[in-house]
Amino acid sequence: MKDELAVAIVGARFGVRGEVKLRSLSEEIEHLLKLETVTLCKGSVRKTHRISSARRHSSDVLVRFEGVETPEEARLLTGYEVRVPREQAAPLGQGEYYITDLIGLRVMLGGESIGTVKSLWNSGAHDMIDVEKLDGSMVVVPFIERYIGRVDLEANSIEVIVDWILE
- Considering the entire predicted model, what is its pTM? 0.75
- What is the distance between the alpha carbons of residues 128 and 20, in angstroms, rounded to a whole number? 30
β-pair partners for 157:
106, 152
User: Is the model's pLDDT at 55 over the cut of 80?
Assistant: yes
Q: CB-hemisphere CA count at 13 Å for 53?
A: 12
Architecture of domain 99-166: Roll (2.30)
pLDDT number for residue 31:
92
pLDDT number for residue 124:
83
What pLDDT digit, counting tens, does each position of 103-158 carry? 999 999 999 999 999 999 888 888 999 999 999 999 999 999 999 999 999 999 99
pLDDT number for residue 100:
86
- Identify the band that residue 40 occupies on the pLDDT scale cut at 50, 70 and 90: very high
- Spell out the domain ranges in the chain: 4-88, 99-166
pLDDT number for residue 61:
94
User: Is the model's pLDDT at 1 over the cut of 60?
Assistant: no
Q: Which fold has domain 4-88?
A: Elongation Factor Tu (Ef-tu); domain 3 (2.40.30)
CB 90 within 8 A of CB 35: no
CB 38 within 8 A of CB 83: yes
